[in-house]
Structure 1
Amino acid sequence: MSDPDALIEARMRFIYTIRSRGVTDTRVLQAMEKIDRRAFVTGIFADRAYEDMPLPIACGQTISQPSVVALMTEALQVGPRDKVLEIGTGSGYQAAILSQLARRVYSLERHRQLAQAAQKVFDALGLNNVTAMVTDGSHGLPDIAPFDRIIVTAAAEDPPGPLLAQLRIGGIMVVPVGQSDTVQTLIRVIRRDDGYEYEELRAVRFVPLVEGLGQ
């Protein structure tokens, strides 16, 4: 897609589609408008960057559907002073959106190739408040915890205990939960003084959360 007018029109349709999926938070919409998804989609799928669909990336992973990224971001209710932990960097697109809303974003990825590629895009876009790290995300980052917000972009059977423990009181986690790759529910967890409050948001479909490092 090399025609500048066609590119502008495609991006306008992109934002309209996200609005039509029920995203109303102005800050989230502005972040989606500012961060060009095309920067995170390479090769033969680059021309489909503005379509509301997941697309394949390296290491057998996917870049999530933009409307799902927006809805998860909205559910997270990120404030400008928040420290955010993301589990599953993937392409880096979700972390880049979060970088527009939070004070600091730490994104954990088990595949070195993906983390390095995402960090290059962050650097190229001047996103200085987001860092991709190669590590087993299922354990979180206990040395930097607690976090105001935690987002998990892979499905677990239950909200992971180590991550719940790293959530600040009053903090929010958004995580897909399900025992198969066909039936999953997006859950919002709020940590209270006396425990955790759970809310089911919508049906989703994500790759499974896997322990250990990738090849």
Structure 2
Amino acid sequence: MNRGYQRDFTDNYRHKGLRKQLVDTIRQKGITDENVLQAINNIPRHFFLDTAFEGIAYEDRAFPIGEGQTISQPYTVAYQTQLLEVKPFEKVLEIGTGSAYQTCVLGELKAHVYTIERQKKLFDLVKQFSFKSKYPTLRFFYGDGYEGLPTYGPFDKILVTAAAPEIPEKLLQQLKPGGRMVIPVGEKDVQRMMRFTKISDAEFDQEIFADFSFVPMLAGKNF
């Protein structure tokens, strides 16, 4: 992706038919939350990709979006979102805006989303992305995901869309009691999806799920 990046904002019957096939595919892979499936069905994924990818935008796989980042595989987006169990009007912190596709899925579920991107070029592209205005409950920040957004916390849910080598303690502390964080953890090519539920400031319930492969979660901001 670069500053000459071109998007196609036409959403025709062909695109909608391909989205329905995509939803059927991820349903067959085990996604059962109908609200999540409907959100995937409602959002034109090709809007988030360069026109060069339009013909394959609804394949269930990740694609590059520049700056060493990717738009996640739709199944991965659905899997993380299903684990998060988002309810309308909950306050959700997202670490790693990327293309804003996952952000808009959360917006489609009526969450109030605070999303952080550390790559300045991606952040600037998302700022210019008109489709995001469909969701007035989205707020975009340029910053270090490891730091979270303590000024705006605590949060009902936290979603991390990059692989953390270890559990970010600062993010756990920004959860409300009873809040949940979904995060892929691991330093190698494959990470384990984990979910933390905050019992108290010092106690968290920990669950381990399937293996995935994410780009690494990095500290600081990249200009």
Short-chain TM bin: over 0.9
Q: Tell me by how many angstroms 1:170 deviates.
A: 0.2
Specify the SS of the correspondent of 1:45.
helix
1:195 lines up with 2:203 in the alignment = yes
Q: Which string of whole-angstrom CA distances, capped at 9 and with x for unpartnered residues, describes residues 107-147 of structure 1?
A: 10001221222233355552111122111111000101100
Aligned to 1:156: 164
Structure 2: how far apart are the matches of 1:43 and 1:159?
Answer: 37
Q: 1:165 to 1:184 in 2, by over 3 A?
A: same
Structure 2: how far apart are the matches of 1:27 and 1:6?
Answer: 22
Q: TM-score, normalised by structure 1?
A: 0.93
For structure 2, which runs of at least 5 residues remain unmatched after alignment? 1-7
Q: TM-score, normalised by structure 2?
A: 0.90
For structure 1, which runs of at least 5 residues remain unmatched after alignment? none
Structure 1: how far apart are the matches of 2:11 and 2:90?
Answer: 39
Aligned to 2:142: 134
Structure 1: how far apart are the matches of 2:136 and 2:35?
Answer: 19
Aligned to 2:180: 172
Aligned to 1:6: 14
- State the one-letter code of the partner of 1:164: L
Q: Which moved more, 1:68-77 or 1:95-104?
A: 95-104
Alignment of 1:57-96 (within 5 A): 57-96=65-104
Q: Which moved more, 1:19-28 or 1:124-133?
A: 124-133
Aligned to 1:183: 190
Q: 1:122 to 1:130 in 2, by over 3 A?
A: farther
Aligned to 1:38: 46
Q: 1:141 to 1:9 in 2, by over 3 A?
A: same
Specify the SS of the correspondent of 2:222.
coil
